Amino acid sequence: MLKKDYDREYSRKYRKEHPEWKKESNRKWKEKYPDYWKEYWRKYHKKYPRKSRNRQAEKRIYYQRNKEYFLSKCREWRSKNREKSRHQVKSYKVRKKNAIGSHTLDEWETLKVKYGWTCPDCKKREPEIILTEDHIIPLSKGGLNNIENIQPLCRSCNSKKGDRII
């Protein structure tokens, strides 16, 4: 091995074992030659310009260009996860009304099991109907969005009930 190769290998090994030394050396050099450093970065950014400095704007543009793809993915997810999708929409609407309290999808599923997947009003079971979340004391009348204030009703019974307290 030549002396030159040995020195190069030794330097690499030393820098690898002592990274703080290299950082300190770089910091001192930047302080000593600030004009050179600024010019270096100016040339670098001119040679390799950023596409955009605003990541949100990049995402928005990407979404607009690939809108059909994203919409198809959303539709696909919704069709595979109907209950989660319904729960998300319902939660969003409740949050928009500034209602107090919340419940999870698991609590809702447990409540449906407790009622035997049956509408307590018309006594129809879930395969022939879709159970919806009904607030016993409606949110508009000061009811909470906790699971204790929820009962499963089919869509038609929930529509008939409206905002009445039963």
User: How high is the pLDDT of residue 2?
Assistant: 67
**pLDDT tens-digit map of 16-64:** 888 888 888 888 988 999 899 889 888 888 888 776 567 788 889 999 9
**CA distance from start to end of the chain:** 93
Domain that holds residue 148: 75-161
Q: Is residue 29 part of a domain?
A: no
Q: Give the number of domains in the chain.
A: 1
pTM: 0.55
Residue 67 predicted with pLDDT over 80? yes
| Mean pLDDT value across residues 126-142 | 89
Residue 160 to residues 3, 121, 163, 166, Cα–Cα distance (Å):
93, 10, 9, 11
Q: Is residue 92 part of a domain?
A: yes
What letter does residue 122 receive in the DSSP assignment?
Answer: T
Q: Is residue 66 part of a domain?
A: no
Q: Is residue 5 part of a domain?
A: no
Q: Is residue 132 part of a domain?
A: yes
CATH of the domain at 112: 1.10.30
Q: Is 165 left (phi over 0), alpha (psi -120 to 50) or beta?
A: beta
Q: Is residue 137 part of a domain?
A: yes
Q: Is residue 89 part of a domain?
A: yes
| Mean pLDDT value across residues 87-92 | 89
Q: Is residue 26 part of a domain?
A: no
